[in-house]
Amino acid sequence: MNNYPHPIIAREGWPFLAGSVIIAVLASHFVGGILATLAWIIALFVLQFFRDPPREIPQQAGAVLSPADGRVIKVERTQDPYGQREAILVSVFMNVFNVHSNRSPVDGTIQTVQYFPGKFVNADLDKASSENERNAIVLQTPKQQTITFVQVAGLIARRILCYVKPGDALTRGQRYGFIRFGSRVDVYLPLDASVKVSIGDKVSATCTILATLP
């Protein structure tokens, strides 16, 4: 299930961090100057990108938690193409400075996991939801409510990682995936959900309540 204890630095980033530090050390030893400084700046960027801090999980009944860090770029009524229903869409855009570990917004059982290859346009654009590489999870809560959350690759992102499969049970705040280098997550909610965020709001994975379910 990949629900490992929090190591502070996501294990998806360990090879990148090790490689960047080795290059920086070698650059400092053999080259020095501006190139060495640049190598250390890159290593620090890799370190901050792959940070994966533990989060407090709100226990409010019916809460739908943000699956990602970032900024809300869309709140609208639309069609959920993965759950085949009308829904409220809340989209969270992650830039390269956000934590990119993805976490389950609710408790429930996964019904489907659907992966779609696609383009890598800016994840801030509307067409990213339908044209970019993406991975959609349709989940049913214990109250038989459907929640869909979709990892969407971005302009720089080139790897969506998802560690769950149909039939798996998720708990709110549980880590289920990761997207490398800038992206977004779309969350499709039931029409009777009460949305608690607005466009432009900054949200934190697990800590921020996107909406509440009746």
> What pLDDT, in 10s, does the model give residues 137-176?
999 999 999 999 999 987 665 678 999 999 999 999 999 9
Give the DSSP H or E segment for 188. strand 183-189
Average pLDDT, the chain: 88
Which residue among 91, 183, 198, 204 is the active-site one?
A: 183
Report the pLDDT value the prediction gives residue 2, as an integer from 0 to 100: 43
Please say if 183 is a catalytic residue: yes
> For residue 208, is pLDDT > 80?
yes
Report the pLDDT value the prediction gives residue 24, as an integer from 0 to 100: 92
> For residue 106, is pLDDT > 60?
yes
Give the integer Cα–Cα distance in Å for 63 and 82. 22
Residue 137: CB atoms within 10 A of its CB come to: 28
